[in-house]
Structure 1
């Protein structure tokens, strides 16, 4: 009854101005307001790794909402003692406090005092935090009768809707405690580095004292003032009998001790900054998280989200260590490296690294650009992929049932004619010839197997024409490939040579599909998201689907395994079944390696952020180490080797499946022919014999020989009876006749045919012969 009378008196000036009687005004005041909304209080969002550890936090206000039983009872008492000791005794209005304000309000004709209790203070804070712009914020703070009456009306409605405990909990979670800490949980962690449930009496009194004037009593700036205020709270608690005199004196005797803990916002200080940034951009750019950019940003920075991601710390740390080791952050050549790791069969991104810190590139060793991601997830427009794209041509050929032993002529120079894109347009360019980058490649036949192992440009141009440019493009598209800027892949004859700019994460996901036996999954970084209320939100899925027959993928794996054992990346194995492909971009402007096991796929890029063509990696020296020309096997493959070895350490090894038998209808593609013995023959006869067996022939120098007559073949390499690939070159040397004794001469060691130098086994190619092609390698 007293409260009702007070309400009528408080709103009397406003009611009269509006032409309402006191009774009508009181009735309106007691009705439930239609615009009462207790949601939208800004809360801190967290990004978590797969193991639950925190990667980063995002907030508009550093606040973590906690339940009533997670707030220490002594903290609740301290706040009530200094702010509203009769909270559990009065309703929405504290009659005593309101009576004090009444005289002033009636005298001035407007509301100048309010006697606000906890419920009214909660309403005021609620309206302020819900403000979306400056005007709404100003309206929540202005000193006016309209604002005060609105707050009182909301307070009445809240007292009907919630229990006293719930209102107190909401108030403690919304109040500002100074120095950027909102809510008692964030404040406790900020000032004392432990949760609100563990607050001691002196700590609780400190926080309670800050609430009234957070800036004036900020303990980080005004420690003495904050201590004095703390002691006032302790005295009030003792006066109310809520603590004993000895408790008060003991607490007041303690110094105000802070254990400050900063809660940073954003990815800059994250231990996985570029993966964190990828997740952040996924939320800010994907319409599934809100119709507008503003709505999505509001969700991330105010929604109290718990974002569970796919990041695996073992993989992440292994990748970062490998990248930093081979391409240091502030290296003398200004080169950069990036790597993305994707799990086959799920599309989950297990690691994502750049050899830079996240930040402005005005400072050396930093960048805002995530070179591992596309433009929509990291501002990068992608980098030309080089010969890593040959894997898509290989897959298209195998899907067309070409066996491993399919052989095509690989000329030294290739004129691209006979190509049509997927719209049927002629995209040939007979005015430009394309070549191999490694001396000696081309000019002979290669199989699907050996052409891939040696990464021969002209072979793949011929293979692409054989299976069709469009089939190759569609294969790449089915495997999720698109340009880094989001546009469709461009279609020209050199498609197989990798002129399209792409991102490591997309390339890794494509190669992961080979490891998953043809099951492609879009790369994903988020497993689940729950909001502040614990409700699960919809997140983008990987959309996994079978994009090629398992047998085709098994055949791709069979061929690409050889790249690591006998091809351009030989020696880069990781101690378990693995496959991959090197990639070198024109003019050594960038280099790549993409490789995988059945359990993990990775793509590594190395290049120059200033522009690869302007700053090529030819005759590269970096931090005192010189590489000459950088191929895919020079720096990217060792990064891949180190990172994959570390990521998979301690995990059981899985093997690839054997490919279907029909791919072996023309042999393995590595079939080798025995080299005929042409020693003792005249050169013309020897050449004819070797060519008839499918070999090329080069003439070497003449040699002394006790065994073969002058003018006949005395030596050949590879040696007689050894096996070599069809089309390989055999070098023959003609006898000069018997060897003359010379002082200090070295006789031929026993067991070695004449003409083969010590240290080289019979049948072994001499240095410089039959080197694998390194284009893209």
Structure 2
């Protein structure tokens, strides 16, 4: 007979019927072994430092003092719960549904019921019950198998902790192996535990760890799962029923079958409570007569099962993806998710119900859920980066859609993105990054460039089509403005306000594409997917970047423009407002993670230009063809922003901000991104309606005006270097305070070959010190009419987007 046969509760194989001699010998051996076990237990209780070598070498090798830390302070997996900014419950995350509570929150009848059901001598023994071992040994021998267990509450607690603390398969098997070694280890640890913890602490841990069936771990979850009440509100009969479940949660589950076994087990516990004088006979009889009345409550798990997933689903999903990508929570996505499902966090998100309701109403006003085009908006608080809302015309659901459609039901992160869902082309909203790069390189808002309808850039275009033309005998990229766009000299104000493509191509050339790409990332754009990798690896091959050919998500653009609203300080987007650990201690994960992306005066200057598209007054001429004048007039507060459309109106955007709130709205067919979206004003209207409601109770805040240096720069006249050698021209220009750059393409000119034909900006014009003057070298040929576009002021351009079909001219506004 093994020690497990003596102590239980592991099932044993039924032995063959013993012979008469065998029966007599068995009785002798049983008594002898019982005496041996009892002696070990008594000795261990009296002398905790004594080894128990001889029974099993491994078990005996550890001393009584070698107590794992987990036994004194166990880590018990708990449920994490998610709330909105107003404290409304969203959903839960758990591996095991458990919420730990203090013993003082557990009523005495529940404590007494558990002791009566599992360990009637709990308050008398010192971790191991010798009487119980002998009683169980005799009972099990008489029954011919394991019918009665002798593990105390403390031993059961030790076993549960060893299981939870196991980090390897070997450790898990060791914690549950039906061996004498395991039982002896439990005995030794139980005795040691009782020297570290008092009875209340042990019972508290036990009640929080025990499994009660119905996915309920711990007494709090069990009370909710079966009766939808807190433990403090349990009746005597309910407490007895729950205590009886621990021995066999499946067999005694009252929700299964007719509940007869559950009632018998409950009454057994009540009888034991009476035996121990925890209750009176009258109380026991009354409780035993009661029917079992259940009011089961299932704890929601994950975003898909949130009670109000219609409202919170997409935001909840964003939160989970954010958590899984955050290295603060672990080395891998799996580790991070495990921390969420086991950490017992109380998480308050930044989700603002009032703001989000305004956004959802604005979206619903424009399009229905059955519209194949997705219209969505993301809102960010500039000073913190907190994502306060997101809304779209889709339903967060895993249910199949009728007719094989991919909408309205979906769980795809249409507004926040992943590597496999990188986003949509953002059109002219990307012009902001070229403007910021130019400002950072010293060019002022008043920087003037002649901007024709079609511009022959210096960037190659090997794809041909409408975007290609010839320059100097080679095919180059030739972007165009939208039909009817103003031409001639433009500044940053008028170029941004009227969305002049050919102006921003030249701005991009002044700094090169790389700094523009880098600027977008500094401001908060995430370039995802294969396209994003290609752009970052070789930016100079993607000079159409300024026209918004990269794929991005609304959360990226809202974040980037929020950085402007925050005067150049980028705050990483976060769904968190506050987070407490399982002990109620605030955690730092919700603190804003902010850093300076650009100088404040650069952000202020860009904001001044960004007031042009919305029809508000700036410190320069915005032009007469601004793209979203209704935004400024309707909001009646300082606001800035930019429209964005792509070729063929495949996507439409509006990204805007006040000092208090930034938002990015988009319209696109996510399933067919190349489809024309029709009315491109929907994002503008969504932005206006959302902001009007969301900011109704927020007093207007003024933007900081641009400095004189950012408006006009340190102006100086450009020397006339026409006819000079390139080396002499560079020396003269640099001596005057300018940067000099020789254009690689030679041009027709009255000047001899190899001499300077002209510069851009031209001789005797004023330009800001530190800005770049481009030198053009003569090829010795007289000027003649050519089929290629002429650029009175030559400058930058943009390369076709990687994989862009021929014929796309990027005329978006």
Q: Determine helix, strand or coil for the equivalent of 1:37.
A: helix
Q: Determine helix, strand or coil for the equivalent of 2:505.
A: helix
Structure 1: how far apart are the matches of 2:238 and 2:89? Answer: 26
Aligned position for 2:424: 383
1:419–1:313 Cα change, 3 Å: farther
Deviation at 1:138, TM superposition (A): 5.1
1:267 maps onto 2:267 in alignment: no
2:595 to 524, 538, 545: 545
Q: Determine helix, strand or coil for the equivalent of 1:213.
A: coil
Aligned position for 1:766: none
Q: Determine helix, strand or coil for the equivalent of 1:577.
A: coil
The range that moved more, 112-121 or 86-95, is 112-121
Cα deviation, 1:751-777, whole Å, max 9, x if unaligned, reads: xxxxxxxxxxxxxxxxxxxxxxx9544
Q: Determine helix, strand or coil for the equivalent of 2:356.
A: helix
Aligned position for 1:94: 129
For residues 299-310 of structure 1, the aligned pairs below 5 Å read 299-310=339-350
Q: Determine helix, strand or coil for the equivalent of 2:390.
A: strand
Aligned position for 1:675: none
> What are structure 2's unaligned runs of at least 5 residues?
1-32, 44-50, 402-406, 462-470, 617-625, 714-809
Structure 2: how far apart are the matches of 1:111 and 1:179? Answer: 26
Q: How many residues align?
A: 639
Structure 2: how far apart are the matches of 1:23 and 1:444? Answer: 94
Q: Determine helix, strand or coil for the equivalent of 1:562.
A: coil
Deviation at 1:366, TM superposition (A): 2.8
Cα deviation, 1:666-710, whole Å, max 9, x if unaligned, reads: 9xxxxxxxxxxxxxxxxxxxxxxxxxxxxxxxxxxxxxxxxxxxx
Aligned position for 2:383: 345
Structure 2: how far apart are the matches of 1:189 and 1:113? Answer: 30
Structure 1: how far apart are the matches of 2:582 and 2:600? Answer: 43
Deviation at 1:87, TM superposition (A): 0.9
Structure 1: how far apart are the matches of 2:628 and 2:453? Answer: 22
Deviation at 1:191, TM superposition (A): 2.0
Structure 2: how far apart are the matches of 1:479 and 1:28? Answer: 61
Structure 2: how far apart are the matches of 1:661 and 1:200? Answer: 76
1:344–1:396 Cα change, 3 Å: same
Aligned position for 1:574: 635
Structure 2: how far apart are the matches of 1:541 and 1:164? Answer: 40
Aligned position for 1:441: 485
Deviation at 1:664, TM superposition (A): 5.5
Q: Is the 8 A contact 2:54 2:60 kept in 1?
A: no
Structure 1: how far apart are the matches of 2:583 and 2:129? Answer: 31
1:356–1:657 Cα change, 3 Å: same
Structure 1: how far apart are the matches of 2:457 and 2:399? Answer: 41
Structure 1: how far apart are the matches of 2:347 and 2:76? Answer: 18
1:649–1:442 Cα change, 3 Å: closer
Aligned position for 1:705: none
1:616 maps onto 2:659 in alignment: no
Q: Is the 8 A contact 1:382 1:501 kept in 2?
A: yes
Aligned position for 1:500: 550
2:688 to 605, 626, 641: 641
1:133–1:52 Cα change, 3 Å: farther
1:19–1:522 Cα change, 3 Å: closer
1:293–1:663 Cα change, 3 Å: closer
Q: Is the 8 A contact 2:561 2:656 kept in 1?
A: yes
1:592 to 653, 664, 683: 653
For residues 310-329 of structure 1, the aligned pairs below 5 Å read 310-329=350-369
Q: Is the 8 A contact 2:601 2:710 kept in 1?
A: no
The range that moved more, 550-559 or 222-231, is 222-231
Aligned position for 1:124: 159
Aligned position for 2:742: none
Q: Determine helix, strand or coil for the equivalent of 1:409.
A: strand
Q: Is the 8 A contact 1:79 1:205 kept in 2?
A: yes
Deviation at 1:397, TM superposition (A): 3.7
Structure 2: how far apart are the matches of 1:455 and 1:144? Answer: 78
Deviation at 1:399, TM superposition (A): 4.0
For residues 482-561 of structure 1, the aligned pairs below 5 Å read 482-485=526-529, 487=533, 489=536, 490-491=539-540, 492-527=542-577, 529-534=579-584, 539=589, 542-561=592-611
Structure 2: how far apart are the matches of 1:435 and 1:132? Answer: 63
2:70 to 31, 37, 41: 37
Q: Is the 8 A contact 1:10 1:105 kept in 2?
A: no
1:231 maps onto 2:267 in alignment: yes
Structure 2: how far apart are the matches of 1:79 and 1:483? Answer: 57
Structure 2: how far apart are the matches of 1:9 and 1:664? Answer: 90
For residues 346-745 of structure 1, the aligned pairs below 5 Å read 346-360=384-398, 362-363=400-401, 364-375=407-418, 379-400=420-441, 402-417=443-458, 430-437=475-482, 439-466=483-510, 468-485=512-529, 487=533, 489=536, 490-491=539-540, 492-527=542-577, 529-534=579-584, 539=589, 542-565=592-615, 567-572=626-631, 573-613=634-674, 615-617=675-677, 629-631=678-680, 634-662=681-709
Deviation at 1:115, TM superposition (A): 1.0
TM-score by length of 1: 0.74
Deviation at 1:172, TM superposition (A): 0.5
Aligned position for 2:373: 335
Structure 2: how far apart are the matches of 1:252 and 1:649? Answer: 61
Structure 2: how far apart are the matches of 1:325 and 1:154? Answer: 66
Structure 1: how far apart are the matches of 2:52 and 2:267? Answer: 49
Q: Is the 8 A contact 2:448 2:491 kept in 1?
A: yes
Structure 2: how far apart are the matches of 1:381 and 1:40? Answer: 39
Deviation at 1:185, TM superposition (A): 0.6
Structure 1: how far apart are the matches of 2:148 and 2:286? Answer: 36
For residues 178-189 of structure 1, the aligned pairs below 5 Å read 178-189=213-224
Cα deviation, 1:566-615, whole Å, max 9, x if unaligned, reads: 721222343322111111122221111111110111112221121311x3
TM-score by length of 2: 0.71
1:267–1:464 Cα change, 3 Å: same
Cα deviation, 1:251-282, whole Å, max 9, x if unaligned, reads: 33443222222212112224422332233223
Q: Is the 8 A contact 2:58 2:181 kept in 1?
A: no
Structure 2: how far apart are the matches of 1:147 and 1:109? Answer: 22
1:7–1:416 Cα change, 3 Å: farther
The range that moved more, 129-138 or 269-278, is 129-138
Cα deviation, 1:77-106, whole Å, max 9, x if unaligned, reads: 111122222211122112321111334789
Structure 2: how far apart are the matches of 1:402 and 1:375? Answer: 36
Deviation at 1:143, TM superposition (A): 3.1
Aligned position for 1:146: 181
Q: Is the 8 A contact 1:453 1:563 kept in 2?
A: yes
Aligned position for 1:729: none
> What are structure 1's unaligned runs of at least 5 residues?
13-17, 421-427, 618-628, 667-773
